[in-house]
Amino acid sequence: MTLKEVKVGDTVTVKKLNGQGATKRRIMDMGITKGVEVFVRKVAPLGDPIEVTVRGYELSLRKADAAMIDVD
């Protein structure tokens, strides 16, 4: 399952980051790394972006980026 598919209010653990190069590095620089817990706070009315809480702060992710993050 990817972060894009997680329902609002659920907490998941990052299992793997897909993607390559600068895109993968940007996601890691935002604090999303293997093993970190991510809480899905809300989704915008049209579905993009997704607001999550990671490492104690709020972060907005595009659906395309969320689809690169495998979670448990």
- Round to whole Å and give the CA distance between 57 and 60: 10
Instruction: Give the model's pLDDT for residue 47.
Output: 78
| Domain that includes residue 35, residue range | 3-71
Number of domains in the chain: 1
pLDDT by 10s per residue, the chain, length 72:
999 999 999 999 999 999 888 989 999 999 999 999 999 999 998 878 999 999 999 999 999 999 999 999
Instruction: Give the model's pLDDT for residue 48.
Output: 86
Kindly report the backbone phi and psi dihedral angles of residue 27, in degrees, each rounded to the nearest multiple of 5, phi listed first: -65, -40
CATH of the domain at 62: 2.30.30.90
Instruction: Give the model's pLDDT for residue 19.
Output: 84
The sign of the CA dihedral 33, 6, 38, 35 is negative
Answer whether 27's CB lies under 8 Å from 65's CB: yes
